[in-house]
Amino acid sequence: MNIAFELNGKPVEAEVPARTTLADCIRHHLMQTGTHVGCEHGVCGACTVIVDGDAVRSCLMLAAQASGAKVTTVEGLTPAEGLSALQESFRKHHALQCGFCTPGFLTTAHALLTQEPNADKERIRHVLSGNLCRCTGYINIIEAVCDARSAYAKSDPESR
Amino acid sequence: MKLPNFEYLAPSSPAEVVALLAAHPGEAKIIAGGQSLLPTMAFRLAQPAYLVDLRNVEGMNRIVIDDSGVRLGARTRWRDIEDDARLATAHPLLKEAITHVAHYQVRNRGTVGGSLAHADPAAEMPCIAATCEAELTLLGPEGERRMKAADFFLGPLTTALSDDEMILEVRLPRWPAQRRWAFLEFARRPGDFALGGVALYYDLDAENRACNTHIGVVGACYYSKRLPIAESALDGKRVDAETARAVARAASEEADPTSDFHASAEYRKSLVGTLLERALVTAAQRTS
Ligand SMILES: Cc1cc2nc3c(=O)[nH]c(=O)nc-3n(C[C@H](O)[C@H](O)[C@H](O)COP(=O)(O)OP(=O)(O)OC[C@H]3O[C@@H](n4cnc5c(N)ncnc54)[C@H](O)[C@@H]3O)c2cc1C
Ligand code: FES
Ligand code: FES
């Protein structure tokens, strides 16, 4: 079936079998491999993307269910030059080691701080509990997200 | 694993949804949020030939609050309940219970109707529906019918819904402002399915004794239902420490969990007792 949506600000189209998940559509058909796939059944959060402003698991959404939507992946969070404030904060706090989980944490945290720039540490911990990381032990990820809050307090949500 | 093959259909009205279900008896399944169905399909526990998506059906995600209570459209997401400030007074038990459902990303997709139809005894919404005597509105090829939650849940992942029927909405009866209530559960990590949980409410009669007690459990019953023996242990009594212990003991005996990978049946029974005793203390201390 033919599917059209907006990926990181650009209109895209793909011809996919109905069973294609949004994750596989983005990776295999649109060749944006920043979105990672771990468990393929909704438990690890590695595949998190932002659909119409909300963080969702792209392995638990059909590509067909995204037609007409605005989809943002980790590629879309990254400015043309350098890194975003959230990404800088991950680097500063050593919030990644192997990096497999990182796209999922970045998209989740970006959606959260865009919608709730004043999220307290408890809320951030709670939200990030849906993402698994086998390397870092989470503490540095939480620190990085907390530290990035100031960048969102000022930013205009429409400018994503 | 990748999903099995199917044909994808996205009709725009409830009548078309049930017509498609009826046209492919036993072979078509509704998809709402997909947060339970897609993992089930990835594991090949379900392999429907047709998926009928509700995404283009308008008006099924409304939360209506009026004198008769709260009506949740089947496509209401967990996120919508979380964001609706009116529910803090219109149905605090629902609002509190739903804070425990799944993780952030799943909450942005998962729906009330999907959870009720999936009927996992470890899920919060079926527990709330059973505990609060909710009424479901179902639509089939012959038209609408209404059904009490007590008649709807028949077993684990088993309901009275026919292959060609859909859930349109669920109604929770009006919530009096003075009502005493609590919802407590225990999970290893927030958002995971609970090892056990309890939902409780009661009203007070003129002599300050409990009446109209309703108790339900999460993850510690064969299917979502009330615990009538524990309820009658509270009705007519003043809620003090001794009564709380007796009611908790009754609930612990009455719960009928199964043992699994996560916890034994004995552990879950004991957990229900502990949580209910704490819930009774919380409820008694709550002033309206
Ligand atoms: C990692 C993870 C953790 C989770 N943790 C929890 C938890 O702690 N507590 C909890 O309660 N849930 C949990 N869930 C499940 C989640 O809440 C699901 O969203 C919910 O159970 C199903 O809703 P859905 O809209 O996604 O339904 P779907 O997956 O789309 O459908 C589920 C079933 O319902 C049927 N269906 C859907 N809508 C209708 C309708 N209107 N009429 C008739 N049939 C319908 C479908 O055919 C299917 O059989 C978790 C899920 C995941 C992936
Ligand atoms: S790959 Fe989607 S949650 Fe694990
Ligand atoms: S950095 Fe390796 S899994 Fe998170």
Q: Is the CB of B219 under 6 A from ligand 1?
A: no
Of 3.40.50.1460, 3.30.390.50, 3.20.20.70, 3.40.50.300, the CATH number of B180-284 is 3.30.390.50
Alpha helices in B4-91 (DSSP H): 14-23, 37-42, 78-83, 87-90
- Which of the 8 DSSP states describes residue A25? I
Q: pLDDT confidence of B1, banded at 50, 70, 90?
A: confident
How far apart CA B267 and CA B189 sit, in angstroms, is 17
pLDDT in tens, A130-141: 999 999 999 999
Of 3.30.43.10, 3.40.250.10, 3.40.50.1220, 1.10.8.100, the CATH number of B7-53 is 3.30.43.10
**B141 half-sphere exposure, CB direction, 13 A CA radius:** 10
- Tell me the one-letter amino acid at B129: A
ipTM: 0.94
Q: Is the pLDDT of residue A157 over 80?
A: no
Q: Whose CA is nearest to atom 4 of ligand 3?
A: A133
Neighbouring CB atoms inside 10 A of B207's CB total: 8
Neighbouring CB atoms inside 10 A of B64's CB total: 12
Which regions of chain B carry the CATH code 3.30.465.10? 63-173
Q: Is the CB of A55 less than 8 angstroms away from the CB of B34? A: no
pLDDT, mean of residues A14-29: 98
Residues of chain B with Cβ-Cβ distance to A18 below 8 Å are: 5-8, 51
Q: Is the pLDDT of residue A159 over 50?
A: no
Q: Is the CB of B115 under 6 A from ligand 1?
A: yes
pLDDT in tens, B60-74: 999 999 999 999 999
Provide the mean pLDDT of chain A. 95
For a mutational test of ligand 2's pocket, the pick from A57, A62, A105, A131, i.e. the residue with the most ligand atoms closer than 8 A to its C-beta, is: A57
**Burial tier of A134 (Cβ tally within 10 Å: 0-12, 13-18, 19+):** exposed
Using DSSP, state whether B283 is helix, strand or coil: helix
pLDDT, mean of residues A80-84: 95
**B6 half-sphere exposure, CB direction, 13 A CA radius:** 30
What CATH number does the domain located at A2-74 have? Answer: 3.10.20.30
Q: Identify whether the C-beta of residue B81 lies closer than 8 Å to the C-beta of residue B98.
A: yes
Q: Is the pLDDT of residue B287 over 80?
A: no
- pTM confidence score: 0.96
Which regions of chain B carry the CATH code 3.30.390.50? 180-284
Q: How many angstroms separate the CA of residue A69 from the nearest CA in chain B?
A: 12
pLDDT in tens, B96-138: 999 999 999 999 999 999 999 999 999 999 999 999 999 999 9
Q: Is the pLDDT of residue B280 over 60?
A: yes
- Give the number of residues written for chain B: 288
Q: How many angstroms separate the CA of residue B203 from the nearest CA in chain A?
A: 33
What tokens does A22 get?
């949004």
Q: Is the CB of A37 under 6 A from ligand 2?
A: yes
Kindly report the CATH class assigned to A85-159. mainly alpha
Q: What percent of chain B has pLDDT over 70?
A: 100
How far apart CA B73 and CA B56 sit, in angstroms, is 14
Q: Identify whether the C-beta of residue A151 lies closer than 8 Å to the C-beta of residue A106.
A: no
Residues of chain A with Cβ-Cβ distance to B109 below 8 Å are: 56-57, 60-61
Q: pLDDT confidence of B43, banded at 50, 70, 90?
A: very high
- Tokens 């007074």 sit on residue: B89
Q: pLDDT confidence of A156, banded at 50, 70, 90?
A: low
Which regions of chain A carry the CATH code 3.10.20.30? 2-74
How far apart CA B67 and CA B75 sit, in angstroms, is 22
Kindly report the CATH class assigned to B63-173. alpha beta
Q: Identify whether the C-beta of residue B104 lies closer than 8 Å to the C-beta of residue A108.
A: yes
Alpha helices in A43-128 (DSSP H): 74-77, 85-92, 102-115, 121-128
